[in-house]
Amino acid sequence: MEKNRLGKSDLYVMPLTLGCMSLPLDLNESSKIIDYALDKGINHLDTADLYQFGENEKMIGEIIKHRRENIILTTKVGNHFDSKKQSWYWDPSKEYIQSAVDASLQRLQTDYIDLYLLHGGTSDDPIDETVEAFEQLKQVGKIRAYGISSIRPNVIKEYVRKSKIDAVMMQYNMLDRRPEEFLDDLHENDISVLARGPLAKGMLSNHSEKYIEEKGKDGYLEYTGQELKAINSKFRNENESLNSVALRYVLHHPAVKSAVFGARTVEQLMTNLDSLFLPKLSNDKIQQIKNCTTFFPYSTHR
């Protein structure tokens, strides 16, 4: 299976990434999931320092410490948190980033982070200072590449203009097509997209009816609950796994290098891994999906 290069970095990831936020905080159960994913070819794990206030990083570090060299590891920074009070505030300062990376390295039991992402961001941030912090961390070898996790157009555009980011992580799926506004621009700038939420909270999974009832009954983005059910009925008429269609949809655009999905069980993981071995969706299929859904542009943070 061919790996995809992230930006201009020397990082190459599989088309699917295991997002670790939803892993059970049980070392044995999560070890089974991660080990299975790695054994089946996934090489990219995504976590963040804020997940469970550092406990997620600790667990990941313990699980992968014996096979670290075979893994592309992403974590995030910017939420200045107090694990005892379980509170946090936004802090993209150079001082905080350079102290937070050391804490993450310790929790992850590693001496480098492959991809370090700013976990959010606003146009009021000291962006030049933030970029300087990341660049210095690259120079000393604590990180190999950096990027941002954001859905704010004004923030993304500033980082494209002011930095050498290799990746942007953003929510993207067949229902949330907002990123399609600037996928072409990111691709032209050699900036890779990591698509999180490709299954839309399960509403684009093989159990879509259940999740639409649980999480979409009051709507999702600009869709009403009834519109979600109508769209789902069209998707469900297909013979293919909806998981695989949803994952392959976001991977269709060349800017998107990996779809980041979560799994709470090995069974959930197995359902998504099938997508690695299926052909890309045809242009006709992509257009059919677009005809069933609506493109809503970002209305804020312009």
Q: Which residues contact 191 (CB under 8 A, 6 or more apart)?
A: 7, 147, 160, 165, 166, 167, 168, 255
pLDDT of residue 238 exceeding 80, the answer is no
Name the band, by pLDDT with cuts 50, 70 and 90, for residue 202.
very high
pLDDT in tens, 66-107: 999 999 999 999 988 888 888 888 999 999 999 999 999 999
Q: Which domains occur in the chain, in start order?
A: 4-205+243-280 (3.20.20.100)
Predicted model pTM: 0.95
Cα dihedral 215/216/222/224 (nearest 10)? -150
Q: Residues 14-45: pLDDT tens digits?
A: 999 999 999 998 999 999 999 999 999 999 99
Q: Which one of 12, 36, 51, 116 is the catalytic residue? A: 51
Strands 256-262 and 16-19, bridge-based pairing: parallel
How far is residue 72's CA from residue 27's CA, in Å, rounded to a whole number? 20
Question: Would you call 36 a catalytic residue per the annotation?
Answer: no
- What three-state secondary structure class fits 40? coil
The pLDDT tens digits for 114-158 are 999 999 999 899 999 999 999 999 999 999 999 999 989 999 999
Question: What does the longest C-alpha to C-alpha distance in the chain come to?
Answer: 53
Sign, Cα dihedral of 254, 298, 185, 283: positive
